[in-house]
Amino acid sequence: MMLIHDHFKPRPTDIILSTSPKCGTTWLRALNFAILNRNSYDFDNNHPLFSSNPRDLVLFFEGYIQEGGSTSFIESLPSPRLLSSHLPFSLFPNSITSSSCRFVYVCRNPKDAFVSMWHFMNKLRGRMELPPLAIEHAFDLFCNGVSLNGPFWDHVLGYWKASLESPNKVLFLKYEDVKRETSAYVRKMAEFLDLPFSADEENQGIVEKIVNLCSFENLSNLDVNKVVNKAIFHKIQNPEFFRKGQVGDWVNHLTLEMTEILDQITQEKFQGTGLSFD
Ligand code: A3P
């Protein structure tokens, strides 16, 4: 955090894709990379998303800043920089929040976010030869806000409030909405980034090409996203970013009691904010 505060120099053109973990980071990265670079690549042929996982195309802001102990790598990226982050909005320094750089935030129904996180943690634990975490235990941690990025609900509310105060700075989206009407949200993201689709692009079906390229079905079936890379065994592996990619899988995992507890926390936390999940 100190490195970000002291050394990171925001540029007015920076775009930060923000999420709580497991809320659609991979998808958001793919969609925005494809939107931003739509004139540079052929969608059927040489597109980088065919050969790279989205995390290698849109760098993880805090990860890169910590890894080298400096910000020099991020400084060397050409503008506009497309970065991704799990940091709560409140942890960004004023230099970023008061500059004209923009945030696209995606959140997700907490029940699906929790289930996705539980599966993910157990995949990582399995690879490290640790025993799986029981869902009851993981559930208590989630409900108590034990997470690297702070409590799930506070994370969502921080960006929600920022989007209400500064709609031109923070675009607030829900995974469920994007899933239901992907094309409409691709247009919305492009407009937010001041890169609306021209009539010509609409006629060429560019929006649909982006939607199809970035779909769960397409990305999860690419070789690059199926292969485990032994050379970076300590890192998260590409296949671990893909599981089901569906809305509502929580029904297959949560007990009635867990459902009621999560719904109640969500209702209490979001009361009076205008925010809710179906
Ligand atoms: P599930 O575990 O519910 O399947 P993140 O990218 O933030 O780590 O989130 C991972 C979740 O997003 C997983 O959810 C994963 O399957 C889903 N996901 C990954 N790529 C996706 C895509 N292209 N479209 C929709 N969902 C996707």
Q: What is the pLDDT of residues 217-241, one digit of tens each?
A: 999 999 999 998 877 777 889 999 9
Residue 238 lies in a domain: yes
Determine the pLDDT at residue 68. 53
Per-residue buried b or exposed e for 74-102, using 16+ beta carbons within 10 Å of the residue's own CB = beeeeebbbbbbbbbbeebeeebbebebb
Residue 216 lies in a domain: yes
Q: Amino acid identity of 237?
A: Q
Residue 48 lies in a domain: yes
pLDDT > 70 in the chain, percent: 97
Average of per-residue pLDDT across 184-188:
98
127 — pLDDT class (breaks 50, 70, 90): confident
pLDDT > 90 in the chain, percent: 79
Residue 276 lies in a domain: no
Provide the domain limits for residue 138: 2-270
Ligand 1 neighbourhood includes 22 CB (under 6 angstroms): yes
Average of per-residue pLDDT across 54-65:
87
Residue 147 lies in a domain: yes
Residue 277 lies in a domain: no
Ligand 1 probe mutation, 19, 84, 116, most atoms within 8 A of CB: 116
Residue 10 lies in a domain: yes
3-class secondary-structure state, position 9: coil
Exactly one of 47, 86, 119, 155 is catalytic; which is it? 86
Determine the pLDDT at residue 1. 62
Round to the nearest angstrom and report the end-to-end CA distance of the chain: 34
CATH code at position 129: 3.40.50.300
Place of tokens 């921080």: 158
Residue 275 lies in a domain: no
Ligand 1 neighbourhood includes 112 CB (under 6 angstroms): yes
Domains: count for the chain: 1
Listed in sequence order, the residues at least 6 apart from 50 whose beta carbon sits closer than 8 Å to its beta carbon are 222, 224
